[in-house]
């Protein structure tokens, strides 16, 4: 359940700005209000302050989504086509939130509260240990922040950001259609390459400027 927390906004901003860059693999599932799977995808994402954000879908169809400053690039490999256009408000919502790390920027748009995650019950572990069974120690529950837009018409009704330590591990997005998108992240150990925030499609690619 959500609980009022005067420090939630400051905590979230502190976690978001604790690192100048982030690089992780992701798994995504979209489900309807009954929990039925509608879509799934996987790939990786990266961001680098102050303005660079890349979302790379590898399965089921390869697609690159890149925000670089005020320009948005969408490269579809199968279509051999790349769209280049000014960054729209709708596309900018998530990159701006994750790149901000600023109390004023976040509070101007969202009400932030913390959510209590369910932890493993210590008594269960004790009983299992006394019975001679193998005990699996559960990790500490994540820190979860709930964001609700102040104004109607946003791309989501509710957004949850989950952290373990200072690392972002999941994002849940609920929309007005009662659909839920969940993204789970696994931080990558390899370094971000120098050209990670560039898109250089093959010469035959059709480039559309809007």
Residue 55's pLDDT is 96
Domain ranges of the chain: 2-209
Strands 206-209 and 81-86: parallel
- Is pLDDT of 125 > 50? no
Please state the rounded mean pLDDT for residues 184-207: 92
129 vs 135: CA distance, rounded Å: 6
The Cα 184–Cα 66 span in angstroms is 20
Look at 117 and 102; give whichever has higher pLDDT: 102
Whose tokens are 């990670």? That residue is 196
Q: State the residue for tokens 């976690």.
A: 15
Lowest mean pLDDT among 48-52, 123-127, 147-151: 123-127
User: Which of these CATH numbers, 2.50.20.10, 3.10.20.30, 3.30.230.10, 3.50.50.60, describes 2-209?
Assistant: 2.50.20.10
Q: Tell whether the model's pLDDT for residue 197 goes beyond 90.
A: yes
Q: Give the helix ranges, DSSP H, for the chain.
A: 8-16, 89-100, 103-107, 122-130
Q: Is the pLDDT of residue 128 over 80?
A: no
Q: Is the peptide bond before 60 cis (omega within 30 degrees of 0)?
A: yes
Helix 8-16, helix 89-100: angle, nearest 10: 90
């Amino acid at each position: 359940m959500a609980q009022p927390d005067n420090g939630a906004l400051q905590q979230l901003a502190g976690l978001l700005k604790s690192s100048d860059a982030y690089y992780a693999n992701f798994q995504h599932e979209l489900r309807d209000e009954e929990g039925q799977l509608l879509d799934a995808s996987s790939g990786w994402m990266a961001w680098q302050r102050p303005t660079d954000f890349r979302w790379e879908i590898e399965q089921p169809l390869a697609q690159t989504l890149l925000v670089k400053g005020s320009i948005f690039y969408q490269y579809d490999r199968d279509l051999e086509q790349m769209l280049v256009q000014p960054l729209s408000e709708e596309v900018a919502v998530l990159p701006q939130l994750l790149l901000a790390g600023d109390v004023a920027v976040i509070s101007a748009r969202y009400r932030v509260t913390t959510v209590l995650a369910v932890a493993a019950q210590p008594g269960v572990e004790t009983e299992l240990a006394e019975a001679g069974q193998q005990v699996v120690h559960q990790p500490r529950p994540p820190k979860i922040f709930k964001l609700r837009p102040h104004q109607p018409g946003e791309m989501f009704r509710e957004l949850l950001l989950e952290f373990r330590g200072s690392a972002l591990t999941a994002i849940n997005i609920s929309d007005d259609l009662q659909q839920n998108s969940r993204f789970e992240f696994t931080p990558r150990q390899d370094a971000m390459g120098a050209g990670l925030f560039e898109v250089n499609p093959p010469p035959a690619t059709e480039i559309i400027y809007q």
